[in-house]
Amino acid sequence: MEKLTKIMKSDFEEFHNNRRIERAKEFSKLTGMHVNHNEYPMYFFGDPEAKFVMVHLQPKQQDNKSELYEGDFKFSNFDEYYNFYRYFGKMTQRTQSSKFDLNQIRFLKPFNVIEFDNSADKSQDLEKVIDEKLQLQLMPFGSSKFSTSLVKAASAENGLLNQYIEILLETINEQKRDYIIFCGKVFESVLKDYIVSREDYKFKLPKVDGSVAKNSSSFSKIILNFNGHKLPAGIAHSYHQQGLNMNEYGKKCCKIYNQAQPIE
């Protein structure tokens, strides 16, 4: 993550010198969508060399409308900041009631990239699911909501997202990856200029109670062309779908990802 680390370090130094990051403030100005320029940005979580990569839009944070970061700094230097996110699972208290983290475990299990304990005490699994994969954020600056329409409009006008997409794909491409999963339907439009092949799948999953879900779920198998490199990946359109049986969704996405022919 050489290039991303340089960007992180530059932002970190600016943040500690000025208590804000100007490019985050500029993003808000150009899009009309608030992102926090006065909080520590979050670029990644976990192992930069992991074989499994998950990509989300941005960190979920409460909007902070203050002009500057307030209070004492959380980190004394860049290395401390970097290592906090490298070992985020170990260094933060994981709660077994975290729906987001538990859903990550359920989704990832069928891919067999992390050796989960599968015990009643989920604390070790909750740590592993963060620290033994790589989670990247397209936009490292947090906010309470990502306004797809505002960002799309600004990006169409001035290519605003290009710099974020480029560094994201470069970071992914620096290592050999077995699985690259983009979480959310919005990545269809975010990645449209890089997608050279795409197969779409729709299916109805069994619910936890054994009945069949009324709404269809979907997944796309794609190939990205980045600087002449072909990157196989997937778009998990339904990852954030309410009430989704994540165990079954993970199984289906894994099966689709690992074979070329259509799946009934």
**Whether domain 2-65+76-257 has CATH 3.10.450:** no
- Alpha-helical regions (H) of 132-200: 148-158, 162-173, 187-190
Q: Where are the beta strands (DSSP E) in the chain?
A: 44-46, 52-56, 134-137, 179-183, 195-203, 217-226, 229-236
Q: Is 224 helix (H, G, I), strand (E, B) or coil?
A: strand
Q: What is the pLDDT of residue 261?
A: 47
d(CA 33, CA 41): 16
Q: What is the pLDDT of residue 264?
A: 37
* Cα 124 to Cα 86, 131, 241, distances in angstroms: 16, 11, 26
Whole-model pTM over 0.85: yes
Q: What is the pLDDT of residue 203?
A: 96
Q: Can you list the residues of the chain whose pLDDT is less than 50?
A: 261-264
CA-based radius of gyration for the chain: 19
